Amino acid sequence: MTRTALARFQERLTAEGLDGALIAAPEALSSTNLRYLSGFTGSSAYLLITPAHAWLLTDFRYLEQARIESPAYDVIRQGKRVADTVADLCQSAHVARLGFEADKVPYAMWKGWRERIPVIWRPLNQLVEKLRVVKSDEEIQYIRQAAHIADEALREVLPTAVGRSERDLALALEWAMRRRGAESLAFDTIVAAGERGAWPHARPSDRIIQPGELLTIDFGAQFHGYKSDETVTVATGSLSPELRRLVEIVAEAQAEGIEAVRPGNTARAVDAAARAVIEKAGYAEAFGHGTGHGVGLDIHEAPYASPDPANDVTLEPGMTLTVEPGIYLPGVGGCRLEDTLVITETGAERLTEWPKTFQILG
Ligand code: ZN
Ligand code: ZN
């Protein structure tokens, strides 16, 4: 997979008129593009890639690991100043126009490079992200496995929810995911009960989960670097008609959104399909976020399903997309239902397993 990703990136470099690209992932920067292109999982490295060659620069801690994880790369121990090592390599490989991730590299870092690496700097303009948006079968399999781990964990702990604090339930869920093979959490688990469900990204608190309220859990596992993303909202006992109606509207909106996930359709159309149900029910103002996002090495990545035409894309087989409409009523409660899907040749496949219908625990 890594070799294919590297080869495709090298082709793009040539097409963009670049002699090379510098992908930097020191401790402070996101390493997902670097991992995608190299397979390296350590916390600090740089890639210098030309159409014909690829180097991975890292420090003493990671030399052996990098040689094993990134066999397509020449692994080099970085000098005291990484920029000097890059400058030497650029000179010997005749790199004049060097691409860099202008949307990720801090200005001070780039300024340091500019002083020491004599090249013409060119922004890469999401070159790696454009490759990442369509997943290989192997990548989809990792996301599917992450989703399966998370769902099995939820099945184990959800029946024990009532009487526990949100924080305690989150911890039990996280432990159950890790025990089933999650290498880490995909993101910080959200557990929000009762009126706290009106906060779309509530942190688990010490509030005790009561019978007869709505409980929202947004959770995911990470497997081989790939993440899953799912939200369930369940009733912890019989509910007021207003709250029950809330879940039914969101479930209908989510089903309509999923129905619109197919190749050739746009991400914006998926948002519109889900949003129309919530608007028709009179809750337009209570659904203030986009309907979905891609999932992969990052928890939020392209494509994005929102009303904004600026980041709209046409869906293609191999893309992932969540569908996660919600209604949030301050002081009352909230509901969000979320699945992660992969677009197939004919439609879409749900990778997350929990049914998104009105459900009462117990
Ligand atoms: Zn989520
Ligand atoms: Zn999500």
Sign of CA dihedral 218, 311, 24, 134: positive
How remote is the CA of residue 272 from the centroid of ligand 2, in Å?
17
Q: Please state the pTM of the whole predicted model.
A: 0.95
Sign of CA dihedral 167, 172, 175, 180: negative
Instruction: Please give the mean pLDDT across all residues of the chain.
Output: 96
Residues 112 and 159 reside in one and the same domain: no
Q: What is the pLDDT of residue 201?
A: 87
The string of pLDDT tens digits covering residues 218-232 is 999 999 999 999 999
Residues 115 and 216 reside in one and the same domain: no
Residues 345 and 268 reside in one and the same domain: yes
CATH number at residue 125: 3.40.350.10
Q: What is the pLDDT of residue 217?
A: 98
The string of pLDDT tens digits covering residues 95-117 is 999 999 999 999 999 999 999 99
The string of pLDDT tens digits covering residues 252-298 is 999 999 999 999 999 999 999 999 999 999 999 999 999 999 999 99
How remote is the CA of residue 292 from the centroid of ligand 2, in Å?
6
How remote is the CA of residue 190 from the centroid of ligand 2, in Å?
11
Q: What is the pLDDT of residue 116?
A: 96
Of the candidates 99, 326, 140, the one whose C-alpha atom is nearest the C-alpha of residue 226 is 140
Of the candidates 124, 149, 116, the one whose C-alpha atom is nearest the C-alpha of residue 37 is 124
- pLDDT of residue 188 exceeding 90, the answer is yes
Residue 121, domain extent: 2-131
**What percent of the chain clears pLDDT 90, i.e. is strictly above it?**
96
- pLDDT of residue 16 exceeding 90, the answer is yes
- Give the ligand with the smallest distance to the CA of 217: 1
Question: Does residue 356 lie in a domain region?
Answer: no
Classify residue 135 by its DSSP letter: P
- pLDDT of residue 125 exceeding 90, the answer is no
Give dist(CA 306, CA 100) in Å, integer.
29
Residues 78 and 166 reside in one and the same domain: no
Mean pLDDT across the stretch 298-325?
A: 96
Q: At 362, is the pLDDT very low, low, confident or very high (cuts 50, 70, 90)? A: confident
Strands 339-343 and 333-336: unpaired
Residues 116 and 16 reside in one and the same domain: yes
Q: What is the pLDDT of residue 42?
A: 95
Question: Does residue 236 lie in a domain region?
Answer: yes
Q: What is the pLDDT of residue 3?
A: 82
Answer for the pair 218, 189: CB distance below 8 angstroms, yes or no: yes
CATH number at residue 230: 3.90.230.10
Question: Does residue 71 lie in a domain region?
Answer: yes
CA 333 to chain centre: 26
Q: What is the pLDDT of residue 79?
A: 86
Q: What is the pLDDT of residue 157?
A: 98
Question: Does residue 355 lie in a domain region?
Answer: no
Answer for the pair 338, 261: CB distance below 8 angstroms, yes or no: no
- Give the ligand with the smallest distance to the CA of 301: 2
Give dist(CA 41, CA 272) in Å, integer.
38
Of the candidates 245, 253, 260, the one whose C-alpha atom is nearest the C-alpha of residue 274 is 253
Q: Which of 81, 115, 131 is where one domain is finished?
A: 131
- Give the ligand with the smallest distance to the CA of 185: 1
Q: What is the pLDDT of residue 1?
A: 73
Of the candidates 109, 106, 40, the one whose C-alpha atom is nearest the C-alpha of residue 76 is 40
Of the candidates 22, 57, 20, 21, the one whose C-alpha atom is nearest the C-alpha of residue 42 is 57
Q: At 2, is the pLDDT very low, low, confident or very high (cuts 50, 70, 90)? A: confident
All residues with CB under 5 Å from ion ligand 1: 218, 229, 231, 338
Residues 15 and 40 reside in one and the same domain: yes
Q: What is the pLDDT of residue 67?
A: 98
**What percent of the chain clears pLDDT 70, i.e. is strictly above it?**
100
- Give the ligand with the smallest distance to the CA of 336: 1
